[in-house]
Amino acid sequence: MITMCRQDGKSVEYLTVSEDEVSLRIVSYCKDHVSTESLPKPEPQGFSDLSAEEDPFGLVGQS
């Protein structure tokens, strides 16, 4: 099972799904709950220089 929670600092919602549902449910959840306008914009300089150790969340190379 995978549990996710919102991190907007105001409320916490939990969504728990089984492994075989997770892809569809995460896509649906994100479309319903995440506004792309509110996401922080990554700084372009220096991102390509990060190593895997400096980038534990796998952000290198993602737009």
pLDDT digits (tens, 9 = 90+) for 24-60: 665 665 565 555 555 565 555 555 555 555 655 666 6
Q: Indicate whether 51 belongs to any domain.
A: no
Q: Indicate whether 63 belongs to any domain.
A: no
**Confidence grade of residue 18 (pLDDT, cut at 50, 70, 90):** low
Q: Indicate whether 2 belongs to any domain.
A: yes
Q: Tell me the CA distances in angstroms from 54 to 5, 28, 46, 47, 59, one per residue in order.
A: 25, 30, 12, 10, 10
Q: How many domains does the chain have?
A: 1
**Confidence grade of residue 22 (pLDDT, cut at 50, 70, 90):** low
Q: Tell me the CA distances in angstroms from 35 to 8, 24, 38, 56, one per residue in order.
A: 11, 18, 6, 24
Q: Indicate whether 38 belongs to any domain.
A: no
pLDDT at residue 55, as a whole number: 57
Q: Indicate whether 24 belongs to any domain.
A: yes
**Confidence grade of residue 13 (pLDDT, cut at 50, 70, 90):** low
Q: Indicate whether 10 belongs to any domain.
A: yes
